[in-house]
Amino acid sequence: MIAGDAESKEVLTDLLVSSLADEPLISDMLAEELEIAVESFGRGLWRFRGEPPGRLRPSERRAR
């Protein structure tokens, strides 16, 4: 996963596209493999696990 100035390790995964979901969904295991540390689910703030706690990244907005 590439996020601006940083990236996670490469992870092999399966992808499923659903016409019912309007937001991307990832499993807890994939989040772990991508080294994602969620800081606020509601506000969409996260960071990579190795980054300092103050380095918050906003979730990407969906293209319309």
What is the pLDDT, as a whole number, of residue 4?
82
Residue 48: phi and psi, rounded to 5, are -75, 145
Whether residue 18 is contained in a domain is answered as no
Whether residue 14 is contained in a domain is answered as no
pLDDT tens per residue across span 17-31: 888 887 778 899 999
How many domains, in total, are found in the chain?
Answer: 1
Whether residue 11 is contained in a domain is answered as no
Give the integer Cα–Cα distance in Å for 11 and 37: 16
Whether residue 32 is contained in a domain is answered as yes
Angle (CA) 21 9 53, round 5°: 80
What is the pLDDT, as a whole number, of residue 30?
93
Range of the domain at 44: 1-6+26-59
Whether residue 2 is contained in a domain is answered as yes
pLDDT at 63 over 80: no
pLDDT tens per residue across span 35-58: 999 999 999 999 999 999 889 999
